[in-house]
Amino acid sequence: MRYFIKLAYNGTNYHGWQTQPNAVSVQETLEKALSLLLKNKIEIVAAGRTDSGVHAKEMFAHFDFEEAIDSDYWIPKLNSYLPKDIVIYSIFEVNSEAHARFDAIERTYEYHIHSTKDVFINELSWYHFYPLNLEKMNQAAKILLEYTDFECFSKVNTDVFTFNCKIKNAFWQQNENQLVFTITADRFLRNMVRAIVGTMINIGQGKIEPEQLRIIIESKNRSQAGFSAPAHGLYLTQILYPYSTE
């Protein structure tokens, strides 16, 4: 039987989602917990791979297991065993062909910035104290919706077959000293959101004008775009599927 897991994690102490040699990852930590408690070797496939230090308020993953799983019993047990920065919200059976990564039709990320020094959120938001022009940043955000090829925002030497992404919405919102960038698309390239944010910061600071974003995108050249914003301000916040995940 195939099961979906809905979970969240604070990525501060992890070298991203994906298992890798000589580094602690969310995937490895979760697989070890499931394998130990279910007394079977469990391998999980996630909806996506977050980079080192990136957080997820909502992540889905799937795994196969031969027996029926009582979620009311196993969720508290798993959460008590897992470290404090990973939480399981639900475990539910799905169709045997369901796939956490390939079936996802939409993903949403948020990037969090705070403009006043706050010692309590330093690992969860990027402290950026230079004044930013929110109106110009939102003008640039609208331009993103006009394009589909975002090679200029992709990590170089990546193994993807296409740089096309369909961005559904992108906008900045400010609440006192908190600034949040929200972006939704069918898929994202590696480092894409952080590269977009870095470019938007340059626009907000007046280093480049919003319309110059078109030149950057059409160049398909990563060196033309802005810097990559720090990982700790980035959150995966929502993943949508064509079927219920409640």
State the DSSP H helix or E strand holding residue 237, giving kind and residue range, or none if neither. strand 234-240
Cβ-in-10-Å burial (0-12, 13-18, 19+) of 242 comes to exposed
Which one-letter amino acid corresponds to residue 231? A
- Torsion angles phi and psi, residue 166, rounded to 5: -100, 105
Closest by Cα among 107, 27, 89, 87 to 63: 27
Lookup result for tokens 């944010």: 197
C-alpha to C-alpha distances, 183 to 6, 33, 64, 142, 187, nearest whole angstrom = 21, 32, 32, 11, 11
Active site residue 51: yes
* CB 234 within 8 Å of CB 194: yes
Which of 51, 64, 72, 103 does the annotation list as catalytic? Answer: 51
C-alpha to C-alpha distances, 147 to 70, 131, 173, 211, nearest whole angstrom = 45, 28, 22, 13
Lookup result for tokens 């003008």: 139
Active site positions, annotated? 51
